[in-house]
Every structure is written in C-alpha cells, then in structure tokens.
Amino acid sequence: MDIRKRFTVAFVAVAVATLVALGGLATTSHSASDGKDIVDTAVAAGNFTTLAKALTEAGLVDTLKGPGPFTVFAPTDEAFAKLPAGTLESLLKDKATLIKVLSYHVVAGKVMAVDVMKLDSAKTLEGQDITITHMGGVQVNDANVVMTDIVASNGVIHVIDTVILPN
C-alpha cells in the first residue's frame, strides 16, 4: 500500500474512532437532513459553547448562518481552555483581533475530509493560508483534526483540538 493510501486509511480510522468515542456528537450533528446551518449544528453538539460565544462577540453568527458554503475547522471548548491564561478574555474584548482569529478557522467552500487529504494548505477567510499535514493523522497548523465531515446545511465542520492563530 502506498504512503498516501496508508495516511488516508489512518485518517479514516481516526475519524471513525472519534465518531464512536463521541457518539452523541456524531448522531446529533453528522447529518444535514435536519437542515441546521453551521452555527446551529455546532451549538447542538454541546462542546462548542466557547466558539459560539466568540462568534457572537465578533458579530460573525449571521455570516456563518449565511448561504456559504463554508468549511470550519472548529476548536472545542477544551481547545479554547488550552490557550494561555487571559488570552480568551483578551480576544473577547478586542473585536478586530477576535474576528481575525475566528475567520482564520474558516475556508470558503465545502471541503470534505477526502478533499482535505489532497491539500497541503488552504486559504482562510482571514486571508492567510493554513498548513495541512498528513503525518500521523491530519493537522491544521499545530491542531489535530479529531473529527471530520460534520455536515451542515451551509457547509461542513471539522473538529480540531487546538485554537489556531494567524501571524
């Protein structure tokens, strides 16, 4: 088996294992059949409350409820908790920087996991590229992708374990 196929198999295995481990999230938000947009899908999942609060503070809720399509590399509450002390509070008080950080997690278009596997980088709505690597799982910059292809009516969410910061 060539290296690309091995990484694809490993990526799918990690995604499946994560879906099984986080069964509640997978069953409540892995389908677009309920018609929920990206914001409503993330809120329903229950582990993106910090992201939802940040989107509200930044005034980006309406954008991510728009037609899109969008791909969101969504940090969990645990990812936000890993930020150095005071960082989140500072971001929530600085709307311009908060918008920059949050839009750095969003790519235009619906980029499913199979497509992410073909990319080395992607341009974010913030304007900078994120780096995508496939060694030992998929990483976006220094964040691990821990769940993929959570489909919403206006795009897709890939869950990451670390907040990524633009330069």
3/91 Cα distance (integer angstroms)? 40
Where do the domains of the chain lie, and which CATH numbers do they carry? 3-160 (2.30.180.10)
- Res. 14: pLDDT tops 90: no
Looking at every residue in the chain, the average pLDDT score rounds to: 83
pLDDT digits (tens, 9 = 90+) for 127-148: 999 999 998 889 999 999 999 9
75/97 Cα distance (integer angstroms)? 17
> If you average pLDDT over residues 115-122, what whole number do you get?
94
Query: In DSSP terms, which residues pair with 108 in a beta bridge?
Result: 70
Please tell me the predicted confidence (pLDDT) of residue 35.
84
Please tell me the predicted confidence (pLDDT) of residue 127.
96
pLDDT digits (tens, 9 = 90+) for 25-78: 333 334 443 789 999 999 998 899 999 999 999 999 999 999 989 999 999 999
Q: How far is CA 163 from CA 23, 38, 81, 104, 139, in A?
A: 23, 18, 9, 10, 12
Reference 145, options 92, 73, 60; nearest CA is 73
